[in-house]
Amino acid sequence: MEEQLKTGTTTVGIVCKDGVILAADKRATAGTMIVDKRAEKVHLISDDVAVTIAGTVSDAQLLIKLIRAELKLKEVRTSKRPTMKESANLLGGLLYSSIRRMSMIPGIAHFLMGGKDYLGTHLYDLFPDGSVTKVRDFISSGSGSVFAYGVLESHYTPEITLEEGIPLVVKAVNTALQRDSASGNGIDVVTITNKEIKLALHKEVNVQL
């Protein structure tokens, strides 16, 4: 099934002076075949948390459903919203459990998690092995990340604002679109501030050779 196919991807997350930005392309592939030109790779998990996905679609979709339920359950049990550290560790635990199951093929999914809590905005890298790393500048994942990193290394500064950061992540993803055949067809950009998470840019690109 299409949902079980692995995807080629470029996702980017950067920490700005006034928030966090997440971005991703819109192409899903299976080998050399493009199976979806409008794939959603930036997902809102709650009012406080958003993630980008890279890896196997079915695993990512299931883990998104699970983390949504876990965060809601934790909020109900504690009568308060989970912090970003708690949210990241919950998803990290789910990833670790998935990769350690020996009775079935382990899931492969890589998440970038951005969000807000009473301490401010935060960005985390959640690797398929369950490791959780707090990101203090920028991060990229997926098959096009090597190209995106070249742009980020050259142009990112710790003082960058959200307004300045949006063109930067667009340039980083677009660079990957030009060189990575598994990335393409558009870009979604989400911004996260202390007040809200919103879609800042949605653009579809149809390239005809």
Digit-coded pLDDT (tens) for 129-159: 889 999 999 999 988 889 999 999 999 999 9
| 169: nearest Cα among 193, 197, 203 | 203
6-20, 104-118, 185-199: least confidently modelled range? 104-118
Please indicate whether residue 193 is annotated as part of the active site: no
Query: In CATH, what class is 2-204?
Result: alpha beta
Encode pLDDT of 164-191 as tens digits: 999 999 999 988 888 665 555 679 999 9
pLDDT band at 30 (very low <50, low <70, confident <90, very high): low
For residue 183, what pLDDT is reported?
A: 56
pLDDT, residue 209, reads 36
Contact present, 174 and 180 (Cβ < 8 Å): no
- Nearest Cα neighbor of 200 from 65, 74, 21, 79 is 21
pLDDT of residue 9: 86
Report which of 192, 186, 184, 141 is spatially closest to residue 12, judged by C-alpha positions: 141
Sequence-ordered alpha helix ranges (H) in the chain: 57-78, 84-100, 145-155, 162-179
Residue 99 confidence (pLDDT): 64
Of 10 and 183, more confident: 10
Whole-number pLDDT of residue 59: 85
- 138-141 vs 186-192, strand pairing mode: unpaired
Sorted by where each begins, the domain ranges of the chain are 2-204
pTM of the model: 0.87
How many whole angstroms separate alpha carbon 200 and alpha carbon 71? 25
Tell me: pLDDT of 27 over 90: no
Give me the mean pLDDT over the 70-92 stretch: 95
Query: Which tokens go with 205?
Result: 């690109």
> Using CA atoms, how far apart are residues 98 and 61, in angstroms rounded to an integer?
13
Q: What is the pLDDT of residue 116?
A: 97
